[in-house]
Amino acid sequence: MELIDTFFNADIFLKIWPLLLSGLWLTLGLAALSVPLAAAIGLAVAMAYHQHHKWLNRLLIAYVDCLRAFPPLVLLIFIFYGCPFIGLQFNDITATVLALVLNGSSYYAEIFRAGLESVPRGQEEAARSAGLSAPQTMAHVLVPQGVRNVMPDLASNTLELIKQTSIASAVALQELLRAAQIGQGLYYNPTPLVAAALIYLVLLWPLVRAISRMQKPVVIPR
């Protein structure tokens, strides 16, 4: 019983629910901004890479690799606390979205690149010789097939990006995790944290299941 009072305290949960709800909306807002922006930049980088321009590609690989090597929290702290020194002041939401988009776009770029490369070369040649221009070939032939080939990776990267919005709590942005931490501090009870974890679980479980279902089933003869 004591366990329930500590971790699943209904009174505290009801009192803290409005705060959690406003945090949830902010989390969803951050995700809704970051995911499309990061995916769009990632796709643009992958399409530029596909031009096979030697120097441009070196630059793009440097961009992608450096951002993949950078912990997103370091990026966020750098943008939020470092940049104001040279007069670049970002508010907490902009800084978070910027960090998430920079980091997320590098992963999306790698995935889209692999997708574009997975389309057989004959497809591009056939489209070009049928009279499609290079941009038309990209838009109607390469991207649709390439994206379909990497759907599972795109979905799991999107999942990662949504979860990453929780680092915004480090710059005191009151998203779901931060709201729960405030609630925990107010009532000196971990129920709000448990509630936040359960909200994440309910929110993202369908996506996790969908990703698992995209995988090949395992058949082990016994």
Partner 1 sequence: MEKILYYFFNWPLIAPHLPAMLKGFAVTLQMAALTIAFGLTLGLALAVLRTYGNKLLNAALIFYVDVFRAIPQLVILVLIFFALPGVGIVLDPVTATVVALSLVLAAFAEEIFWSGIAAVARGQWEAGRCGGLTFNQTLFSIILPQVVRIAIPPLTNRAIGITKGTTLGSVIAVPELLNVASSVQSTIANPTALTAAAVLFCLIFLPFVRLTRWMEGHYAPKR
Residues near partner 1, by CB under 8 A: 3, 6-7, 61, 65-66, 68-74, 77-78, 81-83, 85-87, 159-160, 163-167, 169-170, 177, 180-181, 184, 189-190, 193-194, 196-197, 200-201, 203-205, 207-209, 212, 215-222
Distance of CA 204 to the CA centre of its chain: 12
CB of 52 to partner 1, least distance (A): 16
CB of 134 to partner 1, least distance (A): 23
Tokens 């990006």 belong to residue: 161
Backbone angles phi and psi of 70, in degrees to 5? -90, 125
Please identify, using beta-carbon distances, which residue of 14 and 219 lies nearer to partner 1.
219
The torsion defined by the Cα of 15, 18, 21 and 25, in degrees rounded to 10, comes to -160
CA atoms of 47 and 171, how far apart (whole Å): 34
Furthest-apart CA atoms within the chain: distance in Å: 74
* Helix/strand/coil for 9: coil
Please identify, using beta-carbon distances, which residue of 61 and 93 lies nearer to partner 1.
61
CB of 9 to partner 1, least distance (A): 10
Please identify, using beta-carbon distances, which residue of 151 and 207 lies nearer to partner 1.
207
CB of 133 to partner 1, least distance (A): 27
Please identify, using beta-carbon distances, which residue of 93 and 132 lies nearer to partner 1.
93
CB of 41 to partner 1, least distance (A): 18
Please identify, using beta-carbon distances, which residue of 44 and 73 lies nearer to partner 1.
73
For the chain, count helices (H), then strands (E).
11, 0
> Do 99 and 130 meet the contact criterion of CB atoms below 8 Å apart?
no
